[in-house]
Amino acid sequence: MTAGFPDGFLWGVAHAANQCEGSYDVDGKGLSQADVIPSPQAMDYVNIGDLMKVSREQIATAVAYHGTEGYPKRRGTDAYARWEEDAALFAELGIKALRMSIAWTRIFPNGVEAEPNEAGLAHYERLFTRLRESGIEPVVTISHYEMPLHLVTELGGWENREVIGHYVRYAETILRRYRGLVRHWLTFNEINTTLIEPYTSAGLLEDPERPMEPRSYQALHHQYLASSHATRIAHEVDPANRVGCMLARMTHYPATSDPDDVLEAQRLNEMNLQHTDVQVRGAYPGIVRRYWREHGIEIAMEPGDEELLAEHTVDFLSFSYYMTLVAAADPSTYGQTGGNLFSTIKNPNLPVTEWGWHLDPVGLRVTLNDLWNRYQVPLFIVENGLGATDQVLPDGSIQDDHRIDYMQRHLEAVREAIADGVDLLGYTCWGGIDIVSASTSQVTKRYGLIYVDADDAGHGTYDRTRKKSFGWYKELIASNGASLG
């Protein structure tokens, strides 16, 4: 052990294909559901979920338009074209792991093809090879808020059981192709968001005749099955493969010590953990079955489904951590603040970011201990970071002390959790490089340690500049955390 972090700790950075790659129509790539999300006309940070929805009409308009104007995720931050430059910067940073995703639409452009697109496969093979040569372990998300648009418009997204077969063919293709190059796999990004942002996470379009919640639960069931199949195949292809689930963990604190508030916080925590209950423990928990009963939700299951979930559970639990939330039996009397996926009651003890998200480093320690105590499988923090405005000074530098302070305090909490006994594989901050925000589609909500010269309208050179946080994190990694002090 050195300074509290174990040897071999996977220090890294994270990003997702649909938010950074751009080149949305290059080398045979098909349109994904992210490529048709228009820039929001107006920002509403409290009702953030409204920014992540698209209608059939908007999709038709987007499909008819060939260009990037008004569709920020088609541009990303130009990472597909500049992959060599970015890989060199990551090598210089000294990271041990790069969490990234493969764009499904580069491998199967419409999702239904019998054969994969070789140009897409070759691109990631070059990238993974380069990363490995630099001593960087790729941690690959198979589907991060990205699926072929065709599966959405023609098949109805993850609600349709047929999508499982298309995902499994895609997963098997990449698991076989990248055998030995990639050993850490995540099957879905933030799988719980299917219940919160059904379009972004599961390709579900609104239908006035059919309420969304039962459809979302059905889609989730299919995603769990797909994840278990991918886990099975990953272990068959290479017993050295390690597969993780990925949860947007949202620890709820009770607003007061009133037992009704405590009970509500517990209920919301249990509902958030239903996903890891299925994927780590292998079975739906009672609280979900009760919820289905009380809300008239009937999930179509086939013989063998529950056995599959029980048999092919994940090897580790990965999660994103940005904030904690607050629960009350009667939330109407409290003020609200923004949140990653939905708004929450404002916690008077915590400051908030420019986008209204609670800043709570101690909550990360609470979260790590809770997850470890409940599941006793290795954990992996695969997202944690500060979305903030950054200023370029006249000398061209970016002095992002706000981000350094954020990371310092969160990593101090991580070190404490490790000392508490938590088994933690690594920490990949969000993100290495500035990207397009998943929810607001802004580039100016910056997360990177590397600045990208681009604005929300897509103007700029897209040139990369190391921020002050780049040097700070580099030193931290080189000292295996000792420079935290």
Summarize as ranges the residues that interact with ligand BG6 (CB under 6 A).
16, 19, 145, 189-190, 248, 320, 340, 383, 387, 430, 437-440, 445
Helix/strand/coil for 195: helix
Q: What CA–CA distance (Å, rounded) separates 49 from 56?
A: 17
Across 322-359, b (16+ Cβ under 10 Å) vs e yields bbbbbbbbeeeeeeebbbbbebbbbbeebebbebbbbb
125 among known catalytic residues:
no
- Shortest distance, position 441 Cβ to ligand BG6, whole Å: 9
Place of tokens 């990205």: 146
Q: Give the relative orientation of helices 286-294 and 259-276 as an angle to the nearest 10 degrees.
A: 100
Q: What CA–CA distance (Å, rounded) separates 366 from 388?
A: 24
Please provide the DSSP assignment of 397-431 as one string.
Answer: ----HHHHHHHHHHHHHHHHHHHHT--EEEEEEE-
Q: How far is C-alpha 206 from the geometric centre of its chain's CA atoms?
A: 23
**195 or 248: CB nearest ligand BG6:** 248
Q: What CA–CA distance (Å, rounded) separates 445 from 452?
A: 12
- Shortest distance, position 193 Cβ to ligand BG6, whole Å: 7
At residue 82's C-alpha, the angle toward residues 112 and 136, to 5°, is 85
**219 or 255: CB nearest ligand BG6:** 219
Q: How far apart are the first and last CA of the chain?
A: 15
**101 or 347: CB nearest ligand BG6:** 101
**5 or 357: CB nearest ligand BG6:** 357
- Shortest distance, position 165 Cβ to ligand BG6, whole Å: 25
Burial class for 115, CB neighbours closer than 10 Å (0-12, 13-18, 19+)? exposed
Contact between 314 and 244 under an 8 Å Cβ cutoff? The reply is yes
Q: Which of 298, 305, 245 is nearest to 272 (CA)?
A: 245
Q: Which entry of 190, 197, 383, 412 is annotated as an active-site residue?
A: 383
Across 18-53, b (16+ Cβ under 10 Å) vs e yields bbbbbbbeeeebbbbbbbbbbbbeeeebeebbebbe
**316 or 430: CB nearest ligand BG6:** 430
- Shortest distance, position 45 Cβ to ligand BG6, whole Å: 10
Q: Which of 327, 326, 356, 328 is nearest to 340 (CA)?
A: 356
**389 or 479: CB nearest ligand BG6:** 389
Residue least distant from ligand BG6 (Cβ): 439
- Shortest distance, position 73 Cβ to ligand BG6, whole Å: 11
- Shortest distance, position 357 Cβ to ligand BG6, whole Å: 8
**190 or 315: CB nearest ligand BG6:** 190
- Shortest distance, position 334 Cβ to ligand BG6, whole Å: 23
Q: Which residues are catalytic?
A: 383
